[in-house]
Amino acid sequence: MRHIISILIENEAGALSRVSGLFSARAFNIESLTVAPTEDASLSRMTIVSTGSDDVIEQITKQLNKLIDVVKVVDLSEAAHIERELMLVKVRSAGKDREEMKRIADIFRGRIIDVTESTYVIELTGNGSKLDAFLEAIDRALILETVRTGVSGIGRGDRILKV
């Protein structure tokens, strides 16, 4: 099963490598990992998407909790939550493709944030499957470059991950 694990971790040098090292040392799977400081600069918030049986996910959360720098760990997918991912896509947009690309971007509520005579950079947010669907919808030959951030997640309503 796919799980979204949120971590609050001391914003120390090497904190990321402690987490990623744990995953590789114990043969846990990482689908994506995002990390950045929170509004409190001494803390970082990390979102890890992993897949595994319930036993494996239980071990992952226990092992993460064991890391000295980790303040809190929550499996977001245990309850209502929101997940988003940001993607930037550079596409060829010359001639007849120019209008078409703009139209599809609009349908997916994407925004064109850079324009040259022959290219667009389109910014798109959503869950992973929406981003996948956009890439499916446009002509593959026109894709010059894609970059995705990986999933960030947050609990709905009163579910709050804070110190």
Partner 1 sequence: MQLTGAEIVIRCLQEEKVEYVFGYPGGSVLFIYDELFKQDKFKHVLVRHEQAAVHAADAYSRSSNKIGVCMVTSGPGVTNAVTGIATAYMDSVPMVIISGQVPTAYIGQDAFQECDTVGITRPCVKHNFLVKDVRDLAVTIKKAFFIAKTGRPGPVLVDIPKDITNQKCDFEYPKTLVMRSYNPVTKGHGGQIKKAVQMLLDAKRPMIYSGGGVILSDAADRLVKLARALGYPVTNTLMGLGGYPATDKQSLGMLGMHGTYEANMAMQNCDVLIAVGARFDDRVIGNPTHFGSVARKIIHIDIDPSSISKRVKVDVPIVGNLPEVLDELQKQLEASSGVPDPKALASWWKQIDEWRGKKSLKYKQGKEVIMPQYVVEKLYEVTDGDAFVTSDVGQHQMWAAQYYKFDKPRRWINSGGLGTMGVGLPYAMGVRFANPKATVACVTGEASIQMNIQELSTAKQFRIPVKIINLNNRYLGMVRQWQQMFHGNRYAESYVDALPDFVKLAESYGHVGMRIERPADVEPALREAFTRHKNDLVFMDFLTDQTANVYPMVAAGKGLSEMILAEEL
DSSP 3-state percent helix, strand, coil across the chain (nearest 5): 30, 40, 30
Among 11, 32, 38, 59, binds partner 1 (CB under 8 A): 59
Alpha-helical segments (H) within the chain: 15-25, 54-66, 96-107, 128-137
Angstrom distance (rounded) from CA 65 to CA 69: 9
Contact 153, 76 (CB under 8 A): yes
Q: How far is the CB of 47 from partner 1 (least distance, A)?
A: 18
CB-wise, 21 or 37, nearer to partner 1? 21
Q: How far is the CB of 58 from partner 1 (least distance, A)?
A: 7
**Structure tokens of 93?**
């947009």
Give the binding-site size for partner 1 (rule: CB under 8 A). 20
Q: Which of residues 12-41 bind partner 1 (CB under 8 A)?
A: 13-14, 17-18, 21, 25
Q: Which of residues 38-57 bind partner 1 (CB under 8 A)?
A: 55
**Secondary structure letter of residue 141 according to DSSP:** G
Angstrom distance (rounded) from CA 64 to CA 22: 8
Q: Which of residues 68-97 bind partner 1 (CB under 8 A)?
A: 68-71
**Interface ranges with partner 1 (CB under 8 A):** 9-10, 13-14, 17-18, 21, 25, 55, 58-59, 62-63, 65-66, 68-71, 163
